[in-house]
Amino acid sequence: MLVHVLGSGAGGGFPQWNCNCVNCKGVREGTVNALPRTQSSIAISANGDDWILFNASPDIKKQLDDFSAIQPARHVRDTAISAIVITDAQIDHATGMLTLREHNKPWEVYTTKAVHDDLTTGFPVFSILGHFRGINHHEIATDESSFTIPTAPGLVFTAVPLKSEAPPYSPHRHNTVPGDNIGMNIHDTKTGKTLFYAPGLGVAEPHVLDYMSKADCVLVDGTVWTDDEMANEGISDKRAQEMGHLDQSSKGGIMDILKSMAKPRKFLIHINNTNPILNEDSPQRKQLEAAGIEVSFDGMDLEL
């Protein structure tokens, strides 16, 4: 299984266009040792030719331009993206579908029913695409049953329901239902290796911890360092938990969870512009490294 990180940032990317927090101002001025990041998305392939896109961020144009394997140029209009999986209906994971409207056939799109409903009503991306080539929708079950995608031979996918948060335009906002947010367990039957991917994670429930601990590699929510990070920067009084994200530094946070797991290689993804771990010289980044946790970056490649 080949894994390519198209984008590793949270909503707004890094630096965020209108933000002058310590990180954003510092990276613009060259005073903070940090890499710019686009909004979170990954691509996975079983054969190096056909790629499954996980989430379509608003930055998709730049992400695809920066990844040559995704444009095989076999025809006048072409792409190596053979299917798209959307893990939640948030703006930073679905807006890029509008950029992809010029596909020469309907997209093969995999989502839960809850995400499909939100993307046809509150944020009607799928309805809009119906005026172009449209989509062929494949419903992902939330009972942890496995499924396959024809263009990813040997890969077995299992959706893992997560407690996070539904988007503001969802009728499930603050009252989530199974399928509003999912992680994805991807097992390669040829190599025996498994990836667990969850860019949004609000509560580490026992079944989620089980998938994570058994995986060979995890790519999980790295949005914020502290629960009150946004307030400390004077940006918002919302806590990370209210937005459906588990912070890294608190007792029982992502760092505590990951450092207790012996098997997987551990990466954070979906990192907010305010998070001090973006600064590669920060004490927070050094704490992560000491715990054996890595920070993903745009363009990162993994092979499992």
Q: What is the mean pLDDT of the chain?
A: 95
The CATH number of the domain holding residue 121 is 3.60.15.10
What's the rounded mean pLDDT across residues 139-167? 96
Give the chain's domain count. 1
Q: What is the pLDDT of residue 15?
A: 98
Q: What single-letter amino acid sits at 32?
A: V
pTM (two decimals): 0.96
Q: How far, in Å, are 189, 281, 282, 292 from residue 289 at the CA level? A: 31, 11, 11, 5
Nearest-CA neighbor of 130 among 90, 101, 87?
Answer: 101
- Portion of the chain with pLDDT greater than 70, in percent: 97
- Portion of the chain with pLDDT greater than 90, in percent: 90
Q: What is the pLDDT of residue 233?
A: 74
Q: Classify 273 as helix, strand or coil.
A: coil
For residue 269, the enclosing domain spans: 2-303
Q: What is the pLDDT of residue 240?
A: 59
Contacts of 220 (CB under 8 A, 6+ apart): 183, 196, 197, 198, 199, 201, 212, 254, 258, 266, 267, 268, 269
pLDDT digits (tens, 9 = 90+) for 228-282: 777 677 777 776 576 668 999 989 999 999 999 999 999 999 999 999 999 999 9
Instruction: Say whether pLDDT at 155 is over 90.
Output: yes
Q: What is the pLDDT of residue 6?
A: 98
Task: State residue 113 phi and psi, 5-degree precision.
Answer: -60, -40
pLDDT digits (tens, 9 = 90+) for 268-278: 999 999 999 99
Instruction: Say whether pLDDT at 69 is over 90.
Output: yes
